[in-house]
Amino acid sequence: MKGRQDSHIFTLTAIAITAMQLGLIFSHAAWRDETQAVMVACASPNLRALFTALHFEGHPSLWYLGLRGLCTVAAPTLALKIAQAGIALGVAALILKRSPFSEPMRLVVSLGYFLLFEYGVIARSYSLGALIFLAFIAARRQAWRGLLLFCLANISVHFLLLASACWALVVSEERRIDLKTSVALALGVFVSALSFWPVSAAHPALSQGSNLAQNLGEALMWLSTVAAPVRFDIAGWGQHLPDGFAILLGALILPLGALAFRGSLRWMTLWLLLGSAILLLSAFVYVSYPRHVGVLALWLIGLNWARLEDEGVAPDLVSRAWLGVLAASGAWMAMLALVQPFSASEAIAKWVRTRPALAQLPICVYPGWHAPDLTARLGKPVCDLKTSRMMWFEPWDRPPQPLEDQATTANLLRRARLVLARPFLIYADADNQTLEQSGARRLATFPAKLQGGPMAIFLSPALKQGSGVISAKGQIERPPQRPHS
């Protein structure tokens, strides 16, 4: 009787967690990382243009191709929610029905911050990577495991490293190198690199500095989020512990993982191989944040899963405590997300749509990376105030520049007024003072949400003289002048 009652409690709790996650997904206000990807996928005129854009994005193609397919039947932001809901249900099925953990541990794992929120609500390629990884762990003895490794390598650079670690796991289990699996992984790595390898004209938003010690410190601070992804305050999303504590915890992540698998050189080696690769990548090549280093949290789950199946060894105290902290972090983040929006962009787009006179005006963004916040929701391109180009998403083909001083901003506004020859809106950070100093009028300010700072909508009047439009290529085109009679 008690066993049946416990089973009912497990089932009801699992349903409640899944329902909460689906509710978070469909109430989630996507931010520019999510909308940038869906607009690259949906606004590219053809597949050739899509693959060209990926060389500036720095991501392989799998996620974008999936979104492009969904955009044929749904609007961009709805396509994101549909994709994420399907992924969340797949992850829940694998953890709650397929994993070998005890029922309480399955609930703890499913509540973990990365599976519940970072990869469970925010719709990015990493979410698809989490699903493929768990599917691989569950099917790692099946003949089609190579296909999963191929797909995993086409998620991101960090998931490419995770795919390589999965290959090493199979080799350690079977004590041989399987040719088909190895070829599938190698082919996946080749296709991935072919699709995302940066071109010389690419200028990412973030890049490593020249100070190696500072880079290592930053890498350790963000590595700490594998164990402490939230600060249990209302500061919002994407925060790590205070710098000193974060560096200390980040330096302990690899030893703590090794401690979790103490007594087995094989499992310790597998943990340290991926952990070291992620740390080196973060410190010297690729600026990494929780969404990147979170692959180590997945690896902790995967190794414990495989060890329990292979050797009958359940997660030890260190692993259980680690996963418990992640579950508490996931519950805290879910609570915050239920009481306030993740991004202000949904409210801003609604504010524009509900004012017909303003909705008909051209919209400029400043700087350009804010573009997909609006294009994904308003269904029209916007003008980058700094380049005078019409765009659906940020192309990352120019070096990121700081916001200009008042004189330069005044010149940018003057050029836009001359080109557009009508009033236009400007979507920018709310603390931008140079726009108002240059003649733009603030219409509305939107407070900061879980992600990002406060945003604002400004109105710039038109110049009486001059006329012109911005062409599809971003060039100024003036209409022919009528001769005087």
Find the helix or strand (DSSP H, E) in which 384 lies. Answer: strand 382-384
- Domains along the chain with CATH numbers: 2-339 (no CATH), 345-477 (3.40.50)
Residue 223 CA to residue 290 CA, distance in Å, equals 7
- Identity of the highest mean pLDDT range in 191-200, 233-242, 320-329: 320-329
Average pLDDT rounded to a whole number, residues 214-232: 94
Written as six digits, the tokens of 208 are 């490593």
Pick 285 or 204 by higher pLDDT: 285
pLDDT at 156 over 70: yes
The per-residue pLDDT for 401 is: 66
Residue 149 CA to residue 275 CA, distance in Å, equals 19
Q: b/e string for 398-433 if b means 16 or more Cβ within 10 A?
A: eeeeebbeeeebbebbeebbbbbbeebbbbbebebe
Q: What percent of the chain has pLDDT over 70?
A: 93
Pick 93 or 412 by higher pLDDT: 93
Confidence band for 80, pLDDT divided at 50, 70 and 90: very high
CA-based nearest residue to 188, from 250, 145, 222, 229: 145
Using DSSP, state whether 426 is helix, strand or coil: strand
CA-based nearest residue to 118, from 289, 260, 360: 289
For 470, list phi and psi in degrees, rounded to 5: -95, 125
**Entry field: residues in the chain:** 485
- Contacts of residue 10, defined as CB under 8 A and 6 or more positions apart, other chains included, come to 103, 104, 106, 107
Q: Using one digit for the tens of pLDDT, what is the confidence trace for 423-432?
A: 999 999 998 8
Strand partners, 441: 459
Q: β-strand 363-366 against 424-429: which pairing, if any?
A: parallel
Q: Using one digit for the tens of pLDDT, what is the confidence trace for 198-207?
A: 887 777 766 6
Q: What DSSP line would sit under 355-366, residue for residue?
A: -HHHHTS-EEEE
Residue 349 CA to residue 370 CA, distance in Å, equals 12
The per-residue pLDDT for 259 is: 97
- Contacts of residue 346, defined as CB under 8 A and 6 or more positions apart, other chains included, come to 29, 30, 377
Average pLDDT rounded to a whole number, residues 284-290: 88
Pick 198 or 121 by higher pLDDT: 121
Average pLDDT rounded to a whole number, residues 55-68: 94
pLDDT at 235 over 80: no
Average pLDDT rounded to a whole number, residues 19-40: 96
Average pLDDT rounded to a whole number, residues 380-389: 90
The per-residue pLDDT for 481 is: 40
